[in-house]
Amino acid sequence: MECPSTKNIPNGNVEVVKINRISKIALSFLLITTAVGSLYFGFTQFWRQRAFKILLPSLGRGTTGNGYVTATLNCSLPEIPDKLPFLRVVRQDYADAKAKSMAADVFEMTGELHVTRPAISLNGTVVRVVNGTQTLEIYEDGALRFMPNFQEAGYNITLPELSQARGIAGQFIDRFLKKAESSYLKPNCSLQIVLSEVDYACWYAIPPSPTVPVEIRVSYRVLYNAIPLIFKGSFYVTIGDSGKILEFRCYWRNVEPADPLSITITPEQAIENMGNNSDIVGRNPLQVREITINSVQLGYFTPSPLLGTDKFLPAYEIMFVATFEDGSQSTYETYVSSTTASIPY
């Protein structure tokens, strides 16, 4: 006996059910594909297509008014906290005996050590220790500069490979950090040193011969609680002939976290505001056609130790390539405050 209800179900209904199933499967496939695609583009491509309009008060020579340039984002934008403490600089006076002790113990300077205090800073004291061939400079805020070898001008330079230079610098830094750990030199705060770049940094020529590299710079980022010191928070080793270390610039600082500041400027706003800086392409007189932003990073704006700054404020470091009217391109960096406080830039 047939079930009337089943029997009475019109074939068409059955067909409808079949169509719905196919639709659902197709729809599901479409949704999954879209989701996967969105995820892919979201993570890899979406930000590449973002563009900002930046108002530049000066587009360069030959322009007739304020104008906008398109800044294409070629990187991801950083996640930012709501608040970040600014860093207060802790200064200390290095007595002659302490300075000599550091030079001998940490930098292995030998011979007769002389201490002077050259007035090369308008805003603070620099202690200089010399032994005739080597120089160590110690700043009140903890920044250091060590010059163990001098390199004369000329072509007779044999540089190591970049990878070798990285190794030489790494060994030097490891040794330095171990020795600094047990001295007054290392800042008494959370600190990380992260390798950032190995590249040539000085070139020489007798024109019209082309220049040849004569120095390699192995650069590191100094991080305080994962936030980098930007601008002149330099930390690098310069390597010259036969792998000799020419300079160790260690512009880390003795700081302590102070009051939290609200991060009121988003990375997007920082990009839009970068045109407010005094000419962002320096004194380059060419007209800017477009900008490609390769990096936006939140950090602590750290001026030269010679400036004697009391605090380091949160700010964005924006690295970009400007394309000019003649097609030439140059790399630039600019800095924008991430709070209501202005930075000394």
Partner 1 sequence: MLNLENCLLCLALVASIGVFQSGLTSVYAAGNDDSNAKEIGAWGIDNYSDNPSYPPPNSYLRYATEEAQGFYDRMVEKGFTPRFGYYNYSAWESDFEKQSVGGNDYIYADSCDFVYFAGHGWTDHFAFGGNHDGDGAYPFKAYSTFGSAEVDWGDQDMEWIFISASHSLEEFPYEWDPAFHSPITLHGIGGFHTGPGDTWESSHTGSYFVLFATEGGESIYSAWRDATIEWQESGYCGAMYSVYVIYPPPQPTVHYRNEHLLGIAEGMYPDPPPPGGVSIYKEYTKWQC
Residues in contact with partner 1 by CB under 8 A are 57-66, 118-122, 152-153, 199, 201-208, 210-211, 215, 217, 231-232, 234, 277-279, 282-285, 303-304, 306-307, 319, 330-333, 344-345
Q: How far is the CB of 29 from partner 1 (least distance, A)?
A: 49
User: Residue 189 or residue 307: which is nearer to partner 1 going by CB?
Assistant: 307
Cα–Cα distance, 214 to 269 (Å, whole number): 41
Q: How far is the CB of 343 from partner 1 (least distance, A)?
A: 10
Q: Are 218 and 45 in contact (CB under 8 A)?
A: no
Q: How far is the CB of 28 from partner 1 (least distance, A)?
A: 51
Q: How far is the CB of 204 from partner 1 (least distance, A)?
A: 5
User: Residue 211 or residue 225: which is nearer to partner 1 going by CB?
Assistant: 211
User: Residue 105 or residue 279: which is nearer to partner 1 going by CB?
Assistant: 279
Spatial neighbors of 189 by CB under 8 A, at least 6 apart, are: 224, 254, 255, 256, 257
User: Residue 114 or residue 175: which is nearer to partner 1 going by CB?
Assistant: 114
User: Residue 199 or residue 268: which is nearer to partner 1 going by CB?
Assistant: 199
User: Residue 43 or residue 155: which is nearer to partner 1 going by CB?
Assistant: 155
Q: How far is the CB of 217 from partner 1 (least distance, A)?
A: 6
Q: How far is the CB of 62 from partner 1 (least distance, A)?
A: 7
The C-alpha angle with vertex 205 and arms to 200 and 206, in degrees rounded to 5, equals: 175
What is the 3 state secondary structure string of 279-326?
Answer: CCCCCCCCCEEEEEEEEEEEEEEECCHHHCCCEEEEEEEEEEEEEECC
- Per DSSP bridges, beta strands 288-302 and 67-73 are parallel
The C-alpha angle with vertex 290 and arms to 287 and 292, in degrees rounded to 5, equals: 135
Cα–Cα distance, 323 to 287 (Å, whole number): 9
Cα–Cα distance, 227 to 192 (Å, whole number): 9
